[in-house]
């Protein structure tokens, strides 16, 4: 077993909580959570992960819900800085990876300006958790030479307006309507048959998936947040398995029923 | 502490070993390694991670070194399938995340064809480990709306040949010469001043970084494999800190010297 660090006093750790399944925390994230004096977490971090914090720790939700911020970004900065100056160890827990589509850049700037030592601990970002659930490689020598991670607000106009079918594209926080994105990609020349998977609450017990094609995507109504959209030819085999009733979701049954699941895979 | 799964008999787990630091394994990966009967690992997985396997487990290296395969891909498939049929639990350990730039698609196809139950356990891919070491967000509302992961062989011709400066681009296995990539991106219209970081053995004890710009990149000689190239305006602040001697690498000292590191950050 590796020797795992405990949280140092006077230090802030920007920690990736992963996609939601507590087993997908890193050993380091779990050790820091167990030993930190103060835990500041986003709303998307599930209770099962927060419960891994030290029972003596002060745990504060600093997220926003339905777009309404409970705590301003500047207040998060002040909390982290003041706690570190009081020689507390601080874990700033962010869902997924802290350096992808979060406000980590601003938080690191504030910590640097205040001369507060910090460390970043990467986490499993939702794209890879979703791919594991689907049972589909994001890259495949046969179909996809690269992976792109976008956010919803920028997805439609990210990158040049030309066909890009040798890419697996993952859109974080795609919003409630896929129509603008679908129209943009079709307008750019991507094929209407391009497979799409909309996955709600990936790697959480109430995960759900909706399969479609780029041509049908505009009509898909996503499940509860967080939602992720995956699109690309790399998903073609998984889409076919889904259509024939042998979905990658069958993999979820493995832990309960390993022997019976053999024919579902 | 979360309740962590042990490896089930007759099942294959395609497990991400993360970038090399044993603390960056997930709780699930560590639990599976501790309980598996057979561990098949790539050469890039470091000894410190392999040492986490159960002392009773059979551990086999199936990687390639210097491009020479020790074990053919079809032999890896046979090993996994035969072991599972003998009711052994099998961990197929891959560096980083199993679904990014590996042969996981072929391995999953073989397992499905053989009706062997399997599960994919995501891991921290090198791009996010490198970003954590640099102390730089891969996305930033101010500079980068998306992240692209490429492989070296395809990096130069991946995506359309137009400027794409609002992207953070990460190239895995970029090879020993950056000249073709640099010429391609400059030819596409990307700015010669675009910051680049070449990171060798990210998140391992002998990690090293080389900073440059797109204009200078062709002359950079990379350190030992695995090597990762990061390029984009999101790296600008980190590049400036490096130039002024307050590099993100200072973060690595935190664990040893938390109090003294405050002014280096």
The DSSP annotation for A82-143 comes to: HHHHTT--EEEEESB-TTSSSSHHHHHHHHHHTT--EEEE----HHHHHHHHHT--S-BTTT
CA of B121: which chain A residue's CA is closest? A132
pLDDT at residue B66 is higher than 90: no
Confidence of residue A263 (pLDDT cuts 50, 70, 90): very low
Tally of residues, chain B: 265
A44 has pLDDT over 90? no
Distance separating alpha carbons of residues B264 and A115, to the nearest angstrom: 8
Give the per-residue pLDDT at B247. 55
Is-contact B204 B136, C-beta < 8 A? Answer: no
- Which residue in the block uniquely carries the two structure tokens 């802030």? A12
- Quote the radius of gyration of chain A (alpha carbons, Å): 20
Q: Flag whether pLDDT at B111 surpasses 70.
A: yes
* Alpha-helix runs per DSSP H in chain A: 27-35, 47-50, 73-85, 104-113, 126-134, 152-155, 179-188, 236-243
What is the distance between the alpha carbons of residues B91 and B37, in angstroms, rounded to a whole number?
8
Residue A223 Cα, gap to closest chain B Cα (Å): 23
CATH fold label, A12-121: Cobalt-precorrin-4 Transmethylase; domain 1 (3.40.1010)
> What's the pTM value of the predicted model, to 2 decimals?
0.89
Q: At CA B180, angle to CA B177 and CA B185, rounded to 5?
A: 125
Q: What is the largest CA-CA distance in chain A?
A: 59
Of A34-43, A75-84, B192-201, B252-261, give the lowest mean pLDDT range.
B252-261
In this complex, the residue of A2, A101, A125 whose CB is nearest that of residue B23 is A2
Closest CA to A103 of A68, A74, A67: A74
CB contact under 8 A, B146 and A125: no
Q: Which of B14, B88, B132, B256 is best to mutate for the A interface (most A CBs within 10 A)?
A: B132
| Closest Cα in chain A, distance from residue B143 (Å) | 11
Confidence band of B161 (pLDDT split at 50, 70, 90): low
* Whether B164 and A160 lie within 8 Å, measured CB to CB: yes
pLDDT-based confidence at A253, cuts 50/70/90? Answer: very low
Give pLDDT, residue A135: 93
SS3 B69: strand
Question: Cβ contacts (< 8 Å) between A162 and chain B: which residues?
Answer: 160, 162
Considering the four listed CATH numbers 3.40.630.40, 3.40.640.10, 3.40.50.300, 3.30.950.10, the one that applies to the domain covering B126-245 is 3.30.950.10
At residue B64, the pLDDT reads: 67
- Specify the pLDDT at position A151: 87
Cβ contact, residue pair B23, A23, below 8 Å = no
How much is the ipTM here? 0.89
Residue among B174, B238, B234 nearest B200 (CA): B174
CB contact under 8 A, A139 and B108: no
CA–CA min distance A221, chain B (Å): 24
Report the distance separating Cα A57 and Cα A93, nearest Å: 13
Sheet containing strand B90-94, strands side by side: B58-61, B38-41, B90-94, B12-16, B118-121
Contact residues on chain A for B34, CB-CB shorter than 8 A:
1
Pair type for strands A12-16 and A118-121: parallel
Q: What is the pLDDT of residues A6-24, one digit of tens each?
A: 999 999 999 999 999 999 9
Distance, in Å, from the CA atom of B232 to the CA atom of B134, rounded to the nearest integer, reads: 13
Among all residues of chain B, which has the CA nearest to that of A26? B26
The mean pLDDT of B67-73, rounded to a whole number, is: 74
DSSP B161: S
Catalytic residue among A43, A52, A64, A108: A64
pLDDT at A152: 76
- Contact between B261 and A117 using a beta-carbon 8 Å cutoff: yes
Q: Do B258 and A139 touch (CB under 8 A)?
A: no
CATH domain A126-263 topology: 3.30.950
CB atoms within 10 A of CB A172: 23
The chain-wide mean pLDDT, for chain B, equals 87
Taking an 8 Å cut-off on Cβ atoms, the answer to whether A30 and B27 are in contact is yes
Residue of A21, A42, A97, A190 marked catalytic: A42
Kindly indicate the confidence band of residue B71, based on its pLDDT and cuts at 50, 70 and 90. confident
Of the listed ranges A62-71, B73-82, B119-128, the least confidently predicted one is A62-71
Q: Specify the pLDDT at position A160.
A: 53
> B-chain residues within 8 Å CB-CB of A166?
158
- DSSP label at B193? T
List where CATH 3.30.950.10 sits in chain B.
126-245
Interface contact B131-A122, CB threshold 8 A: yes
- What percent of chain A is modeled with pLDDT above 90? 70
CA–CA distance from A78 to each of A12, A73, A84, A116, B211 (Å)?
12, 9, 10, 11, 32
Burial (Cβ within 10 Å: 0-12, 13-18, ≥19) of residue B127: buried
Closest CA to B61 of B71, B74, B73, B51: B71
Dihedral-angle region of residue B204 (phi above 0 means left; psi in -120 to 50 means alpha; beta otherwise): beta
My answer on whether omega of the bond before A5 falls inside 30° of 0, hence cis, is no
CA dihedral B232, A24, A204, B12 (to 10 degrees): 110
Q: A193: which residues sit within 8 A by CB, 6+ positions away?
A: A213, A214, A215
- Residues of A in Cβ contact (< 8 Å) with B116: 262, 265
**Mean pLDDT in residue range A197-203:** 94
Q: Which of B8, B9, B14, B26 to probe the A interface (max A CBs under 10 A)?
A: B26
What is the predicted pLDDT for the residue at A261? 35
- Both tokens of residue A93? 């827990």
- Specify whether the CB–CB gap between A34 and A52 falls below 8 A: yes
Q: Are A52 and A25 in contact (CB under 8 A)?
A: yes
Q: Is A43 a catalytic residue?
A: no
CA A27 → CA A100, A163, B34, B120, distances in Å? 20, 41, 13, 18
- Cβ neighbourhood burial of A139 (10 Å; 0-12, 13-18, 19+): buried
pLDDT of residue A83: 98
Strand order in the sheet with A38-41: A58-61, A38-41, A90-94, A12-16, A118-121
Which residues in chain A are closer than 8 Å to B5, comparing Cβ atoms? Answer: 23, 255
Residues of A in contact with B115 (CB under 8 A): 262-263, 265
Residue B131 phi, psi dihedral angles, 5° rounding? -60, -40
The secondary structure element, H or E, covering residue A213 is strand A208-213
- Are residues A137 and B104, on separate chains, in Cβ contact within 8 Å? yes
B207, pLDDT greater than 50: yes
pLDDT value of position B260? 35
Domain(s) labelled CATH 3.40.1010.10 in chain A stretch across 12-121
CB pairs under 8 A between A and B: 259
| Structure token digits, residue A51 | 């419960």
Q: Where in chain A is the domain with CATH 3.30.950.10?
A: 126-263
In chain A, whose CA is at the least distance from the CA of B143?
A: A105
What phi, psi does A66 have (nearest 5°)?
50, 40
DSSP tag of A191: -
Average pLDDT of the residues in B143-155? 80
- pLDDT exceeds cutoff 50 at B27: yes
Distance from CA of B220 to the nearest CA of A (A): 23
Could you give the CA distance from residue A205 to residue A185 in angstroms, rounded to a whole number? 32
Both structure tokens of B147: 């992240």
Q: What is the mean pLDDT of residues A67-88?
A: 90
Contact A254 B11 (CB under 8 A): yes
Residues of chain B neighbouring A16 (CB-CB closer than 8 A): 128
How do residues A89-139 score in pLDDT, each as one tens digit?
Answer: 999 999 999 999 888 999 999 999 999 999 999 999 999 999 999 999 998
């Amino acid at each position: 077993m590796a020797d795992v660090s405990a949280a140092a006093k006077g230090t802030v750790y920007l920690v990736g909580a992963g996609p939601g399944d507590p087993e997908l925390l890193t050993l380091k994230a779990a050790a820091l959570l167990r030993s930190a004096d103060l835990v500041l977490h986003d709303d998307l971090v599930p209770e099962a992960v927060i419960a891994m914090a030290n029972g003596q720790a002060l745990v504060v939700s600093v997220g926003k819900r339905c777009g309404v911020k409970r705590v301003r970004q500047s207040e998060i900065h002040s909390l982290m800085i003041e706690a570190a100056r009081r020689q507390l160890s601080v874990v700033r827990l962010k869902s997924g990876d802290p350096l992808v589509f979060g406000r980590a850049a601003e938080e690191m700037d504030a910590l640097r300006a205040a001369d507060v030592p910090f460390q970043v601990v990467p986490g499993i970002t939702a794209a890879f958790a979703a791919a594991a659930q689907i049972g589909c490689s994001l890259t495949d020598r046969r179909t996809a030479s690269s992976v792109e991670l976008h956010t919803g607000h920028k997805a439609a106009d990210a990158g040049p307006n030309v066909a890009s079918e040798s890419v697996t594209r993952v859109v974080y926080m795609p919003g409630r309507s896929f129509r603008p994105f679908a129209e943009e990609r079709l307008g750019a020349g991507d094929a209407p048959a391009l497979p799409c998977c909309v996955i709600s609450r990936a790697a959480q017990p109430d995960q759900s998936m909706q399969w479609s094609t780029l041509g049908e995507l505009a009509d898909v109504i996503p499940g509860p947040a967080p939602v992720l959209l995956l699109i690309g030819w790399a998903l073609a085999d998984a889409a076919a398995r889904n259509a024939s009733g042998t979905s990658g979701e069958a993999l979820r049954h493995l832990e309960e029923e390993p022997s019976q699941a053999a024919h579902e895979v």
